[in-house]
A = this chain, B = another copy of it.
């Protein structure tokens, strides 16, 4: 199992920009201790999220009821605090260590939360908001067994409507940018030339890219299913891009269900909470991705061809993918074929005209839900499969060039002055993109390396390696940079430096494995985008809904055990 798909600790792989140990040291520069503004449910004694300025009806006139069996649900806080009632069982934390009885409900009716927890768990089960349970052996291979609800936040996260709209507006511009950059093979090869020397994975991708250039491979139909991830910087109130995912963007299938879940909860409990379910925006991620896939499939123009879903051998996030396959079948009568890279290597064939045939089926689209990280290529077999598919006339989602555009190095290169202008014409579009760029630097910029050694808390070091869990924060930044300087090798080309973003922390209820946890969290907004072009004709270029992920904020990305992330939705303010 690779972390990107199911391990929420690691899937929340973007720069989680505030570690609890850091926030104190650097709070003079970056206001990271204000805990109130984005919290929907806040029991922190310093602040109340239900401030009248945020909610029309801040009163808590709950019925003091408890509609659930009292001994079955566990609600826990990450922080030890007093037990307020006898109804809460002691559970294990995500680290597997019991921290004793902990519950901390200030201002919100405990019975109401318990009812919502129960209803939310039921809703998830009945509506397919599921993942495989890693404690059940077959849960990553066989559907229908070893299922558990996907981790989710009990309440939607407050988010300013203007920033949400801004992120939506950016989606088609980024879609176009990816397409334009992908056409500039020299830019890609040159930008990644130093990375290639020190990063074997990028090197292999570039090799495939080079081979396609050599054979002058044409890609008439170009399909991009992207997700651009953002955080809201607390001090500047700016929406800043974390990264652009051009391959295997996950959770279009499950993320939209969380919006439905939150609307359902607010329909029933919103009045008591003073919250309006209409403020949770509809999230069409699954249907829009499926529409894009179906449109691309139509462009391929063979009603017997299938969509090949390239998957991991074990995939506990399979239901996220099954939602897309099910919708493709039900609404568009398009069949999907699930295969691992190794299976494609064994079964796949290219016909003389370039047609890709797998398992006896002509493949219209290769839709990658794996293949973005070195761990996905344990042997030459997987690389052979990747090359085979790239050589074919199937539509690749993504093509090797789209994949390369999504690397961190290219992200950093695009942030350099006058680079966007090479690819886009519209000055307004360029300004919009630039506005969401965080500071991004190469390690051959000695001034910035000096600054980062002086103030490592203001930077994140990001390696090319994908999949999360690889970023370097805090004093580790200083150590890593100092070591690289001493070594004087090219190894620094494997990293970029990024401005550290300090998003607002909130108190949140997080649901995992049937247990409700309460802790400080930060959130990251992803906006899906779909782009489809056939030769000169742009058929589709649109936003496709959103993904909100909320994560315990005391954990840097590096520590898998330090916290966990859940699926979330937005409450527009």
Contact = CB atoms under 8 A, between A and B. Distances in A.
Interface in A231-285: 264, 268
Interface in A92-120: 118-119
Among A71, A145, A335: residue with most chain B CB under 10 A: A145
Interface stretch (A50-58, A124-132, A376-384, A549-557): A124-132
A319 interface: yes
B122 A335 contact: no
Interface in A142-172: 142-149
Contacts of A71: 141
A141 B148 CA distance: 14
Nearest to A132: B125
A359 B326 CA distance: 42
Given A65-B360, A359-B66, A360-B64, A144 B128 contact: no
Contacts of A446: none
Contacts of A360: 63-66
A143 B121 contact: yes
A198 interface: no
Nearest to A322: B122
Q: What 9 A-B pairs come out closest when comparing CB atoms? A: A121-B144, A144-B149, A126-B128, A145-B514, A147-B147, A142-B514, A121-B143, A72-B141, A122-B143
A338 interface: yes
B145 A149 contact: yes
Contacts of A86: none
Interface string A405-441: 0000000000000000000000000000000000000
B65 A144 contact: no
Most buried by B among A128, A330, A335: A128
5 contacts: A72-B141, A121-B144, A122-B144, A125-B319, A143-B514
Contact of A122 (B63, B73, B146, B326): B326
Given A121-B145, A145-B148, A147-B147, 16 more contacts: A63-B360, A69-B340, A71-B141, A72-B138, A73-B142, A119-B329, A122-B144, A124-B144, A125-B147, A126-B128, A133-B146, A142-B514, A143-B514, A144-B149, A144-B511, A147-B148
Contacts of A319: 125-126
A329 B130 contact: no
Given A130-B125, A322-B122, A514 B144 contact: yes
Nearest to A74: B142
A343 interface: yes
Contacts of A5: none
Interface in A498-540: 511, 513-514
Nearest to A306: B67
A347 to B, nearest CB: 10
Contacts of A326: 122-123, 126
Nearest to A333: B268
A136 interface: yes
A109 to B, nearest CB: 12
Interface in A313-346: 319, 322-323, 325-326, 329-330, 335-340, 343
A376 to B, nearest CB: 16
A64 B361 CA distance: 10
Contacts of A339: 69
A68 interface: yes
Contact of A67 (B124, B130, B337): B337
Nearest to A323: B126
Contacts of A329: 119, 268
A168 B104 CA distance: 54
A202 to B, nearest CB: 29
Contacts of A513: 145
Contacts of A123: 326
A145 to B, nearest CB: 4
Nearest to A148: B145
Contacts of A69: 141, 338-340, 343
A70 B268 CA distance: 45
Chain B CB count within 10 A is highest, among A66, A68, A147, A335, for: A147
A369 B339 CA distance: 44
Contacts of A65: 359-361
A268 B121 CA distance: 31
Interface in A12-32: none
A383 to B, nearest CB: 20
